[in-house]
Amino acid sequence: MNVAVFIKKTTLHEGFGGLETQNKALCEGLAKRGHKITIFAPKQELNTDSQELNGVSYKFIDCSYRSLGGFGYLDKNNWINRSVEAFKQSYKEEKFDLILGQSSAALGLVMKKNELGVPVVSISHGTTTGEYKTLLQSLSSPKDYIKLIPNTAYFLLNFFNRQREFVLHSDKVIAVSKFVRQALIDETFVDESKVVVIYNGIDEDIARTKKEDGVVRLFYVGLIHRSKGLADLVVAMGQIRDKKVELTIVGDGPHLMGLKEMVSEKKLLDKIHIFGRIPHKESMKLLGESDIFVLPSRRVEGFPMSIVEAMLAQVPVIGSNMGGIPEGIEDGVTGIIYESGNVDQLKNAILKLSEDEELRNVMGKKAFEKAKKEFTLDVMLDKYEKVFNEVIL
């Protein structure tokens, strides 16, 4: 099968996150199964037009990626137009069986799919309303509130335009969690039969290398942003500073310096160790040394891949009840779910697991079994191939 994939940025671009990581795993996994995969993305800061990596072809397009108030199609250099041009040019050289769009990145092709004669499948990692709720939770300064006006206009544009266009006009939409699926149905009124759930999966062996020094190690990896609830985690750590519990935070983002300042102000530098962005291999080594993974998010999450990584490392997870997080964590079995923003509940969950090694081990083993059954790369690829075949046939 020859698949054209459209995405706003890739793991080769700066500032990539979970969506780009999932796309990389999906595309490379499909390529290993014999499919021909070509990824189209805006060039942005990259200095190359194309690249071959791990069996996947990349084509980078010179363009702008601004919505222009919903009138981006009037700009010939806009991604919505340039993506279609790039596809047509490539299609002359090789026929594509399917177009796969990450979120609304394939919107231009979705709107011309009848003309192109190629079916389109889109992947949704979240919804416009979820993103707007995250924005509201992140407001803290007068500058943020001033920006709220144009951001609200952008939300309304996406809600009534971009999101509905790519959801309603794709041949099939893949939601990364049941939560995202229901939110899409509620927000766009799309036919329920058009939206299927496929959880993110990974293929990774993470070695357990626990240190026997009596310290219980907590671990977080991901975006450093106010909406991720890391301030709650710092406060909780301050309340149990007398315990032999330490926290390692890995990642980068707009609130990295603010988080470091908070840790310093609370005199927790000996308890909380903050790294910036580090190579994935090093991050997974730290995860393997950990006893508990914590995801204290205050934002509406789709289905975080970090949860699956922790489960495959046999590490129990403490997570908030936001978005698709509870679909990865079986409360009381593979980890603990708490009410987002409730620091007391978060603190108590940390204490419960940190003080009971046997419970951690049992939960970790059950988390591993659940991940191997539901969240592996092969399980994800099988389900994607099934959707592709249904759409093509």
Sheet containing 98-102, strands listed edge to edge, beginning at the edge strand earlier in sequence = 50-53, 56-61, 36-42, 2-6, 98-102, 120-124, 172-175, 195-197
In terms of Cβ atoms closer than 10 Å to its own Cβ (0-12, 13-18, 19+), residue 174 is: buried
CATH superfamily of 216-374: Glycogen Phosphorylase B; (3.40.50.2000)
Q: Tell me the C-alpha distance between 393 and 246, whole Å.
A: 54
pLDDT in tens, the chain (393 residues): 999 999 999 999 988 888 999 999 999 999 999 999 999 999 999 999 999 999 999 999 999 877 655 555 668 899 999 999 999 999 999 999 999 999 999 999 999 999 999 999 999 998 877 666 766 666 666 776 676 666 666 566 665 577 889 999 999 999 999 999 999 999 999 999 999 999 999 887 787 787 788 899 999 999 999 999 999 999 999 999 999 999 999 999 989 999 999 999 999 999 999 998 899 899 999 999 999 999 999 999 999 999 999 999 999 999 999 999 999 999 999 999 999 999 999 999 999 999 999 999 999 999 999 999 999 999 999 999 999 999 998
Residue 127: what pLDDT? 81
Q: Tell me the C-alpha distance between 87 and 67, whole Å.
A: 20
Q: What is the CATH number of domain 2-201+376-392?
A: 3.40.50.2000
Q: Tell me the C-alpha distance between 356 and 348, whole Å.
A: 12
Residue 353: what pLDDT? 98
The residue extents of the domains of the chain are 2-201+376-392, 216-374
Identify any residues that bridge with 121 across adjacent strands, giving them in sequence order. 100, 172
pTM to 2 decimal places = 0.88
**Closest among 267, 363, 301, 249 to 137, alpha carbons compared:** 301
In terms of Cβ atoms closer than 10 Å to its own Cβ (0-12, 13-18, 19+), residue 228 is: buried
3-state secondary structure of 237: helix
